[in-house]
Amino acid sequence: MIDKWYLHISKSDVPYHNIAREAFMLEHAPPHCGIFYLWQNRRTVVIGRNQNAWKECRVAELENAGGFLARRLSGGGAVFHDLGNLCFTFILPKEDYDVGRQTAVLLDALKKRNLAAVMKGRNDLEIDGKKFSGHAYYQGTKNALHHGTFLVNADLSLAQKYLSPSPEKIVSKGVASVKSRIVNLSEFNRLLTIESLNEALIESVEHAYGCTLEPLGDAFFDKTALADREARFAAPEWKYGHSPACSMETSARFDWGGVDLHFDVIEGKVAHLVVFSDSMDEAFIRALPEQLDGSPFRSSAALIEEIEKIKKIAELYHGNEGLFENTKKVLSGNAQGEPS
């Protein structure tokens, strides 16, 4: 039985910080208490715990535009966030956790804003067959969470752009998102804002649970523990390395010849690279797998750029076999001597 409900609204729009707050509250929520959490992220693709980042998202394009790739604790599919999207989280003791009841709270809030939504399956909310909200779930040690999104007036052109996988061929062992048509709630209620939806959600939680939500301020959070969690969620090892192994193929053409690359990505690193090429420099092509195996993988485009960089260094060091074989040292500035 829940004795008290708290409300926390994040002032940050950085996904790693917001997910860290969520994780901290999940672990440290007071006994017999519920927490309702509202938050927003600026330009972000959030993928599920067991998804492959490159299968779900144009990672390089997103990050080059100043956006974020984030991986959450829960399962489910990939979703796009910007400041036209509102995120919510219910955190409750396991014995009080009820997806049906929590979903009814959300539907009631939407009804208050003249939005006749329905639950579709176990994960989505829809109006007229169009999805505006995706949900995911996670069980902690003592508490559980139910979180999701509300597209209010998000830039759906960016969602379409970044949630489209890159053109290289990818064979992934991860869980792929189910693509469905998404829509903003503002299409059905032009007067709807993030603020007015916030208000409706708070009213519905209070009505459903017969409570008054008490503010949960920043004093609740241990700053060191929060910083540690934020660093964990921002780390490449979590964002990329947690991806299930996948096999990828891509190709490129240079002024010195073309290459076809076949490789695996394991724990965020290039592995088992095989290169096919019509280049006249047979020794260079033969050396590429040794140079690139084990290097961090961000995108196929970045890997192609690295090959071009290695080629230029190799040309400088032709005639010095030892340095050519250790091009990585040359690139990092650790090589000895001068090119011959």
The answer to whether 85 and 62 have CB atoms below 8 angstroms apart is no
Residue 60 is predicted with a pLDDT of 85
Map out the domains of the chain as residue ranges: 4-239, 246-332
Please state, for a pLDDT cut of 70, what percent of the chain lies above it: 85
Residue 278 is predicted with a pLDDT of 66
pLDDT digit string, tens, across residues 1-17: 899 999 999 999 999 99
For 219, residues 6+ apart whose C-beta sits below 8 A from its C-beta are: none
Measured CA to CA, the distance from residue 51 to residue 318 in angstroms comes to: 42
Pick among 3.50.30.60, 3.90.1150.10, 3.30.390.50, 3.40.50.300: CATH of 246-332: 3.30.390.50
Mean pLDDT computed over 312-337: 51
Of the pLDDT bands very low, low, confident and very high (cuts 50, 70, 90), residue 334 is very low
Q: Would you give the distance in Å from CA 319 to the centre of its chain? A: 45
pLDDT digit string, tens, across residues 38-96: 999 999 999 988 777 877 888 889 999 999 999 999 988 889 999 999 999 999 999 99
Token match 């959490």: residue?
37
Residue 34 is predicted with a pLDDT of 98
pLDDT digit string, tens, across residues 285-324: 878 888 898 888 878 888 888 888 888 876 665 544 444 4
Mean pLDDT computed over 116-126: 90
How many CA atoms lie within 13 Å of 232's alpha carbon, on the beta-carbon side? 14
Mean pLDDT computed over 318-334: 47
Superfamily for 4-239? Answer: Bira Bifunctional Protein; Domain 2 (3.30.930.10)
**Arithmetic mean of pLDDT over the chain:** 86
Helices 99-112 and 194-209 pack at an angle, to 10 degrees, of: 130
Top-ranked range on mean pLDDT: pick from 93-107, 272-286, 306-320, 321-335? 93-107
- Continuous segment of H or E residues that includes residue 312: helix 300-316
Q: Is the pLDDT of residue 135 over 60?
A: yes
Higher-pLDDT residue of 144, 335: 144
Measured CA to CA, the distance from residue 3 to residue 67 in angstroms comes to: 40
Residue 332 is predicted with a pLDDT of 46
Pairing relation of β-strands 85-93 and 169-172? unpaired
Residue 254 is predicted with a pLDDT of 84
Q: Which of 22-26, 152-156, 241-245, 259-263 has the lowest mean pLDDT?
A: 241-245
For CA atoms 82, 80, 24, 143, the dihedral sign is: positive
3-state per-residue secondary structure call for 48-68:
CCCCCHHHHCCHHHHHHCCCE
pLDDT digit string, tens, across residues 166-217: 555 455 545 555 456 899 999 999 999 999 999 999 999 999 999 999 999 9
Higher-pLDDT residue of 263, 140: 140
For 179, residues 6+ apart whose C-beta sits below 8 A from its C-beta are: none
How many CA atoms lie within 13 Å of 43's alpha carbon, on the beta-carbon side? 15
